[in-house]
């Protein structure tokens, strides 16, 4: 009783090897010539011979172990495998069950022949991989298409070269490019990766793989297809092709053997000197400012993740977005512990579970409604912001004046040093026998001059906090728009903007159910308020990054500004 096996590898794109069906026909003919009954034929299409994790091969080995056959027929040794270790394992297995190995090309396969042909097959596989890579590198250096698909682009054949080969390039597909720009804009304005994917799924937009495979199903968007890996340039948000920079040979795939005689393919980043970089402005889809905004938000997200990891040991803790608008901002006025959402639309002191605090619960609706009303009516008012801006300008001017006094002393010392240098140079020119000590002193003065000149250049210019003349009208309009954004598509960015305005919300003791008659205090972040004012004046109240910038660069005067009179967090009763 005989059994046959055939394989066609994806390493054979030119179809030089006969198909699995052709191998089956040849194996049946060989069995008929030998007078054997063919138990069954098993084949694998499109699976490399470098692994034993092939369904057809595994079925064959199970039949061999069951003792149902005594001959295995293959077309040639390289169809059985292209790894010497795997071939030797299978040879030992066949000997253990008294099964002979025959190849249509050469007849009975002895151990020596199997070893030699196995070495040749393994080396041939390496050679195929090398020549394929070499050809792709050469094509990349000619700015040709090197395979693979990228959302927003399609391969276009421009003609034939002198050698008769196709000359191709990637060109922009505007419909797909618009989708790429939308994904970048959504992420830059504060939407999470999951939210973006849900929006695309809800609109029935096909995933890239579903689009390329021409499937009827649109597929399901996955956040990892957007985020990918920053270091390896993977994922839609990290693909530099969208800024007109196509990189080839950034990474290579290494086959790491596994215990079941298979392998896993792991990417390794190549040295940057080995990269092939082609810059083509015509292929740019994403403007530079939008690309920079996305990169800035990714850096902020990674910094938050790393910060939380140092505390919790959980690498995903910092990547988690606030579950509610006021998460981590609500504090118990009785014990100082945070209020947390406990389900059922209620918030309660964390210590309530251990009976260490009897402060009553409040509903989410009551808490958010009173907070938003307090922000609109008490916190975000033109009078308060303009007053804070005036006080801040006074503090900046005071700090600048202190530094101005320092600048005056530097100017005096620098002028004196330069005068001394001139006197020493004149003395050295007039006296040929001047002592060496004068030369050493001249060198010291020149070093002092360089130091003082550097200090003089680094004295900062006066900073100004500016508000436009029609600031009150602009501000009232911006506050109204902020609440509208909360329920719109830009809700994530609006929540980030609101959270930046709040220092904390203090829920004072009480047992009124739902918190309707509970005393609460809103403490505003004055710097966050000034940042909102700056954006309102520019006509864009939503930050492009989740991390809101300060309105001015305070440098070394942050502490006195926070601690000084008039700069404590502003507190209002809600």
Q: Which of these, 280, 199, 267, 273, lies nearest to 235 by C-alpha position? A: 267
Please name the residues in contact with 504: beta carbons below 8 A apart, sequence gap of 6 or more.
329, 330, 331, 523, 569
Task: Look at residue 339 and tell me whether its pLDDT is greater than 70.
Answer: yes
For residues 252 and 511, which has the higher predicted lDDT (pLDDT)? 252
Half-sphere exposure of 236 (CA within 13 A, CB side): 28
Rounded to an integer, the average pLDDT of 121-135 is: 87
Report pLDDT for 474: 57
- b/e per residue, 178-187, with b = 16+ CB within 10 A? ebbbebbbbb
Q: Which residue's structure tokens are 């196709």?
A: 166
Report pLDDT for 462: 57
Rounded to an integer, the average pLDDT of 3-20 is: 72
Distance CA 523, CA 568 (A): 9
Distance CA 522, CA 508 (A): 11
Q: Which of these, 487, 482, 481, lies nearest to 502 by C-alpha position? A: 482
pLDDT band at 539 (very low <50, low <70, confident <90, very high): low
Write the DSSP string, 141-165.
Answer: HTT---S---TTEEEEEEEE-TTS-
pLDDT band at 568 (very low <50, low <70, confident <90, very high): very low
Distance CA 206, CA 393 (A): 53
Region of 463 please: left (phi>0), alpha (psi -120 to 50) or beta. beta
Mean pLDDT over the full length of the chain? 79
Report pLDDT for 401: 62
Report pLDDT for 522: 81
Please name the residues in contact with 369: beta carbons below 8 A apart, sequence gap of 6 or more.
none
pLDDT band at 555 (very low <50, low <70, confident <90, very high): very low
Distance CA 57, CA 182 (A): 47
Determine contact, residues 103/81, Cβ cutoff 8 Å: no
Percent of the chain whose predicted confidence (pLDDT) is above 90: 23
What CA–CA distances, in Å, run from 50 to 47, 92, 93, 143? 9, 18, 18, 32
Task: Look at residue 491 and tell me whether its pLDDT is greater than 50.
Answer: yes
Task: Look at residue 248 and tell me whether its pLDDT is greater than 70.
Answer: yes
Report pLDDT for 32: 93
Report pLDDT for 313: 52
pTM: predicted TM-score of the whole model, two decimal places: 0.56
Structure tokens belonging to residue 202: 């809800």
pLDDT digits (tens, 9 = 90+) for 377-423: 776 666 666 666 676 667 666 666 665 556 677 788 888 888 888 88
Determine contact, residues 283/145, Cβ cutoff 8 Å: no
Q: Which of these, 215, 141, 219, 152, lies nearest to 182 by C-alpha position? A: 152
Report pLDDT for 265: 83
Please name the residues in contact with 466: beta carbons below 8 A apart, sequence gap of 6 or more.
537
pLDDT band at 524 (very low <50, low <70, confident <90, very high): confident
Report pLDDT for 525: 64
Architecture of domain 153-244+280-309: Alpha-Beta Complex (3.90)
Report pLDDT for 565: 32
pLDDT digits (tens, 9 = 90+) for 151-206: 999 988 888 877 777 888 889 999 999 999 999 999 998 888 888 999 999 998 88
pLDDT digits (tens, 9 = 90+) for 476-488: 666 666 666 666 6
Determine contact, residues 454/462, Cβ cutoff 8 Å: no
Task: Look at residue 337 and tell me whether its pLDDT is greater than 80.
Answer: yes
Distance CA 574, CA 572 (A): 6
Distance CA 500, CA 503 (A): 8
pLDDT digits (tens, 9 = 90+) for 300-326: 888 777 766 565 555 554 555 667 778
Q: Which of these, 34, 48, 51, 41, lies nearest to 20 by C-alpha position? A: 41
| 3-state SS class at 255 | strand
The three state secondary structure string of 507-538 is: ECCCCCHHHCCCCEEEEECHHHHHHHHHHHHH
pLDDT digits (tens, 9 = 90+) for 137-159: 888 888 888 878 889 999 888 88
pLDDT band at 433 (very low <50, low <70, confident <90, very high): confident
Structure tokens belonging to residue 492: 């994530």
* Domain segments of the chain as ranges: 2-127, 153-244+280-309, 330-573
278 DSSP assignment = E
Report pLDDT for 35: 93
Report pLDDT for 375: 74
What are 363's strand-pairing partners?
346
Q: Which of these, 210, 189, 213, lies nearest to 201 by C-alpha position? A: 210
Region of 313 please: left (phi>0), alpha (psi -120 to 50) or beta. left
Report pLDDT for 70: 93
Architecture of domain 2-127: 3-Layer(aba) Sandwich (3.40)
For residues 231 and 317, which has the higher predicted lDDT (pLDDT)? 231
What CA–CA distances, in Å, run from 408 to 209, 216, 401, 459, 463? 67, 76, 10, 11, 18
Report pLDDT for 39: 92
What CA–CA distances, in Å, run from 229 to 224, 233, 246, 302, 464? 8, 6, 16, 12, 41
**Which range is most confident: 142-151, 278-287, 405-414, 547-556?**
278-287
Task: Look at residue 467 and tell me whether its pLDDT is greater than 60.
Answer: no
Q: Which residue's structure tokens are 């220092």?
A: 503
């Amino acid at each position: 009783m005989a059994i046959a096996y055939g394989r066609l590898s994806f390493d054979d794109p030119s179809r030089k090897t006969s198909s699995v069906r052709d191998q089956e026909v040849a194996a049946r003919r060989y069995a008929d010539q030998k007078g054997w009954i063919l138990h069954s034929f098993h084949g694998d299409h499109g699976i490399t011979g470098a692994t034993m994790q092939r369904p057809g091969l595994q079925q064959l080995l199970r039949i061999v172990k069951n003792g149902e056959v005594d001959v295995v027929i293959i077309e040639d040794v390289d169809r059985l495998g292209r790894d010497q270790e795997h071939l030797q394992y299978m040879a030992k297995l066949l000997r253990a069950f008294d099964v002979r190995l025959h190849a249509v090309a050469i007849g009975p396969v002895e151990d020596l022949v199997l070893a030699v042909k196995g070495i040749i097959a393994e080396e041939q596989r390496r050679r195929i991989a090398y020549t394929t890579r070499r050809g792709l590198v050469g094509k990349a250096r000619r700015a040709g298409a090197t395979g693979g698909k990228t959302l927003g682009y399609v391969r276009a054949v421009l003609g034939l070269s002198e050698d008769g080969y196709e000359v191709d390039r990637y060109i922009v597909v505007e419909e797909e490019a618009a989708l790429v720009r939308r994904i970048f804009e959504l992420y830059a304005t504060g939407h999470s990766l999951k939210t973006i994917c849900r929006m695309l799924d809800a609109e029935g937009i096909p995933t890239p793989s579903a689009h390329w495979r021409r499937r009827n199903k649109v597929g399901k968007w996955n956040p990892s297809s957007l985020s990918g890996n920053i270091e390896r340039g993977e994922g839609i948000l990290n693909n530099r092709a969208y800024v007109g920079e196509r990189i080839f040979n950034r990474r290579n795939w290494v086959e790491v053997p596994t215990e079941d005689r298979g392998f896993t393919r792991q990417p390794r980043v190549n040295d940057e000197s080995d990269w092939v970089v082609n810059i083509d402005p015509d292929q740019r889809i994403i403007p530079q400012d939008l690309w920079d905004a996305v990169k800035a938000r990714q850096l902020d997200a990674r910094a938050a993740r790393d910060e939380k990891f140092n505390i919790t040991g959980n690498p995903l803790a910092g990547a988690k977005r606030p579950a509610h608008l006021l998460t981590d901002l609500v504090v118990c006025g009785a014990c100082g512990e945070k209020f947390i959402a406990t389900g059922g639309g209620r918030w309660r002191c964390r210590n309530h579970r251990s009976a260490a605090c009897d402060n009553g619960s409040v509903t989410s609706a009551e808490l958010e409604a009173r907070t938003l009303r307090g922000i609109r009516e008490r916190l975000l008012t033109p009078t308060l912001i303009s007053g804070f801006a005036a006080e801040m300008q006074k503090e900046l001017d005071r700090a600048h004046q202190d530094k101005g006094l320092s600048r005056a002393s530097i100017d005096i010392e620098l002028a004196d040093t330069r005068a001394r240098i001139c006197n020493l140079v004149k003395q050295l020119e007039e006296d040929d026998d001047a002592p060496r000590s004068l030369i050493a002193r001249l060198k010291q003065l020149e070093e002092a001059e360089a130091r003082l000149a550097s200090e003089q250049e680094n004295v900062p210019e006066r900073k100004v906090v500016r508000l436009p003349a029609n600031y009150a009208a602009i501000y009232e309009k911006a506050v109204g728009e902020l609440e509208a954004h909360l329920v719109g598509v830009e809700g994530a960015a609006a929540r980030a903007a609101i959270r930046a305005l709040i220092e904390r919300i203090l829920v004072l003791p009480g047992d009124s159910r739902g918190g309707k008659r509970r005393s609460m205090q809103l403490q505003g972040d004055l710097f966050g308020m000034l940042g909102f004012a700056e954006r309102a004046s520019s006509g864009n109240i939503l930050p492009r990054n989740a991390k809101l910038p300060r309105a001015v660069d305070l440098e070394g005067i942050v502490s006195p500004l926070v601690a000084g009179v008039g700069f404590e967090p502003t507190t209002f009763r809600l």
